[in-house]
Amino acid sequence: MPILKNAWILVADDRIKEIGVGALPEDSRYDEAIDMEGKKLLPAFVDSHSHLVYAANREDEFAMRLSGKSYAEIAEAGGGILNSARKMTQASEEELLADARKRLSALVKMGTGTIEIKSGYGLSTETELKMLRVIRKLQAESPVSIKSTFLGAHALPEEYKGRVDDYINLVIEEMLPAVAEESLADYVDVFCEEGYFSLDQSMRVLEAAKAYGLSAKVHVNQFNSLGAIKPMVDMGAVSLDHLEVMDDAEVEYLAESQTIATALPGCSLFLDISYTPGRKLIDKGAALALATDLNPGSAPSGNMALMMGLACSQMKLRTEEALVAATLNGAAAMELSDDLGSLEQGKLANFLVLPQEFTLASIPYHMGHNLIEEVYLKGNKIV
Ligand code: NIG
Ligand code: FE
C-alpha cells in the first residue's frame, strides 16, 4: 500500500483529478486551496454488507441472550429476523426513511462513504418493495454511494411454516420480477443456513436472479457449512459473506477464486461466535473485505474503525491489510473499485482526514474511537 508524503490532491467536481508529491505544477489553477499540512488523508470506508434499513432495535433479545438464550433459540421463539419482519410490516416508508437517514449520517461521521444495504425484513412482496424503495430514496438524496441488495430469502415467514419451497417459489416468481420491474436492486442475496434456506433452495434463487441481471452476494457459512462455497464461486458470486465456519478446502477454493471473501467481525463479537479465518484467507491469496453487517439482531455496530480493530486483534490482519479490506476490497465486493476505495486519479474524491497526532495504526489500535476529523465525499466536506 503506497503512502505519499508531502502530497497534494487536485479535486475537480466530485473526482480526484490529479495526485502528486512536492510542489504543485507551475501551471496549476484552482479556486480554493485547503491546507492539510501534517494531517493524513485516507480513502473513506466502504461498508459492503449492511442491513441499515430496519424498523426497530432488538434490545429485548439482547437481554434474553444475556440470560443464556442463544441466537437460534431466540429465533425459534419467534424473535430474530421474524421479529424485525413484524415491525417492518407496521412501519411506514417515511418512518423507515427517517430512521435510516439518521443511522446513515451517524456512519458518515465515523468515516463511511459507501455502503451496501439489503432488504430482507419484508418477507412479502409488498414489504420487500417498501424496504427497497427506502434504499432507493437514500441513494437519491445522500452523498454516500449506495448499492442495494434484494434479500427476499432471509428467513421463512410464519405463514409458510413447513412449506419452504412454496416461499422460494414466491421469491422467484413474484418478488424477483417485481423488484426487477422497478430496478430496485443491484444484487441478490440469500441466507444459506440450517433452519433458513438449503443450498438447493439458495441456488435456485441465485440462478433465477441471474436472468434479471442480478449478481450474487450471499450469507454463507455463518453457523454451519452447507457446502455453498464451491457452487456459489462457480456461479460467479461477487462476494461470499460471513464465513465464520470454513474448512481448509473451502478457504483454498475461495482464496483462489475471483469472489471477494467478506468478514463481518462485528457479528462475531456480538454473537460470540468464531471469527472468519481472515489471516488464512489472505495467506492463501484471497481478496478479503471487512464490513459491519449492521443490523438489529446480530451486529448492531456500524463502526468500520472497530471492524478494523477486530480484524487486527482477532483475525490477525496487519494494519495495512485491514485498511485495504475496509476500503478497496469492500469496493470490489460491490463492483465499485474503479470509482471508489482508494485515492487514485479519476476516482471519486472520498476521503477522511486524520489529525497530526494519529497514524494509520491508531485506527485499529483505538478499537472504534472516532479519530476522524473531517470527511469529504464526492469532493464536498460533509463532516
Ligand atoms: O447477517 N445472518 C443473517 N442475517 C443477519 C442477521 C439478521 C438479524 O438477526 O436480524 C446477519 O447476521
Ligand atoms: Fe448480514
The residue whose CA is least distant from atom 8 of ligand 1 is 297
User: How high is the pLDDT of residue 5?
Assistant: 95
Tell if the pTM clears 0.95, that is, is over it: yes
The C-alpha atoms of residue 51 and residue 373 are separated, in whole angstroms, by: 26
From the CA of 267, the nearest ligand is: 1
User: How high is the pLDDT of residue 138?
Assistant: 98
Distance from Cα 242 to the centre of ligand 2, integer Å: 8
User: Does 29 share its domain with 53?
Assistant: no
Quick one: what percent of the chain has pLDDT higher than 70? 100
The mean pLDDT of 83-97, rounded to a whole number, is: 97
Nearest to 292 by CA among 132, 52, 44, 42: 52
Ligand 1 within 6 A of CB of 80: yes
Distance from Cα 61 to the centre of ligand 1, integer Å: 13
User: Does 114 share its domain with 162?
Assistant: yes
The C-alpha atoms of residue 14 and residue 23 are separated, in whole angstroms, by: 23
User: Does 181 share its domain with 288?
Assistant: yes
The mean pLDDT of 23-39, rounded to a whole number, is: 92
Residue 245 above 90 pLDDT?
yes
User: Does 139 share its domain with 261?
Assistant: yes
Residue 250 domain-assigned? Answer: yes
The mean pLDDT of 328-349, rounded to a whole number, is: 98
User: How high is the pLDDT of residue 338?
Assistant: 98
pLDDT band at 33 (very low <50, low <70, confident <90, very high): very high
Residue 13 domain-assigned? Answer: yes
Distance from Cα 49 to the centre of ligand 2, integer Å: 6
Contact yes or no for 114/93 (Cβ under 8 A)? no
Ligand 1 within 6 A of CB of 221: no
CA distances from 145 to 10, 57, 138, 156 (A): 21, 25, 9, 31
pLDDT in tens, 136-160: 999 999 999 999 999 999 999 999 9
User: How high is the pLDDT of residue 92?
Assistant: 97
The C-alpha atoms of residue 300 and residue 269 are separated, in whole angstroms, by: 10
From the CA of 47, the nearest ligand is: 2
The C-alpha atoms of residue 38 and residue 381 are separated, in whole angstroms, by: 19
Distance from Cα 293 to the centre of ligand 2, integer Å: 5
The mean pLDDT of 360-376, rounded to a whole number, is: 98
Domain region containing 20: 7-42+353-381
Helices (H), 38-175: 59-66, 71-76, 81-90, 93-109, 125-141, 164-170
Residue 343 domain-assigned? Answer: no
User: Does 309 share its domain with 375?
Assistant: no
- Between 19-33, 133-147, 152-166, 328-342, the lowest mean confidence (pLDDT) is in 19-33
User: How high is the pLDDT of residue 25?
Assistant: 87
pLDDT in tens, 107-118: 999 999 999 999
pLDDT band at 187 (very low <50, low <70, confident <90, very high): very high
The C-alpha atoms of residue 82 and residue 79 are separated, in whole angstroms, by: 6
The C-alpha atoms of residue 157 and residue 54 are separated, in whole angstroms, by: 16
Ligand 1 within 6 A of CB of 71: no
Enter the C-alpha cell of residue 167: 416461499
User: Does 173 share its domain with 104?
Assistant: yes
Residue 104 above 90 pLDDT?
yes
Ligand 1: which atom is nearest the Cα of residue 54? 10
**Domain count of the chain?**
2
pLDDT in tens, 281-320: 999 999 999 999 999 999 999 999 999 999 999 999 999 9
The mean pLDDT of 341-348, rounded to a whole number, is: 98
User: How high is the pLDDT of residue 99?
Assistant: 98
User: How high is the pLDDT of residue 241?
Assistant: 99
- In a 3-state reduction of DSSP, which class is residue 352? strand
Residue 184 domain-assigned? Answer: yes
Ligand 1 within 6 A of CB of 265: no
Q: Which residue has cell 460470540?
A: 272
User: Does 212 share its domain with 139?
Assistant: yes
User: Does 130 share its domain with 34?
Assistant: no
The mean pLDDT of 56-65, rounded to a whole number, is: 95
User: Does 305 share its domain with 362?
Assistant: no
From the CA of 223, the nearest ligand is: 1
pLDDT band at 228 (very low <50, low <70, confident <90, very high): very high
The mean pLDDT of 37-64, rounded to a whole number, is: 97
User: How high is the pLDDT of residue 28?
Assistant: 86
Residue 341 domain-assigned? Answer: no
Ligand 1 within 6 A of CB of 259: no
| Residues near ion ligand 2 (Cβ under 5 Å) | 293
Ligand 1 within 6 A of CB of 298: yes
Ligand 1: which atom is nearest the Cα of residue 222? 2
Distance from Cα 270 to the centre of ligand 1, integer Å: 12
User: How high is the pLDDT of residue 1?
Assistant: 86
From the CA of 153, the nearest ligand is: 1
From the CA of 120, the nearest ligand is: 1
> Which domain CATH number covers 216?
3.20.20.140
Phi/psi region, residue 123 (left: phi>0; alpha: psi -120 to 50; beta: rest), is left
pLDDT, averaged across the chain: 97
User: How high is the pLDDT of residue 186?
Assistant: 98
Contact yes or no for 145/114 (Cβ under 8 A)? yes
Residue 327 domain-assigned? Answer: yes
User: Does 242 share its domain with 125?
Assistant: yes
The residue whose CA is least distant from atom 5 of ligand 1 is 298
Ligand 1: which atom is nearest the Cα of residue 241? 1
User: Does 375 share its domain with 324?
Assistant: no
Ligand 1 within 6 A of CB of 81: yes
The C-alpha atoms of residue 380 and residue 69 are separated, in whole angstroms, by: 46
Dihedral sign for Cα 318, 321, 327, 331, please: negative
Residue 345 domain-assigned? Answer: no
Residues 6+ apart with CB under 8 A from 251: 277, 280, 281, 284, 286
Residue 89 above 90 pLDDT?
yes
Ligand 1 within 6 A of CB of 218: no
Residue 2 domain-assigned? Answer: no
- In a 3-state reduction of DSSP, which class is residue 326? helix
User: Does 301 share its domain with 319?
Assistant: yes
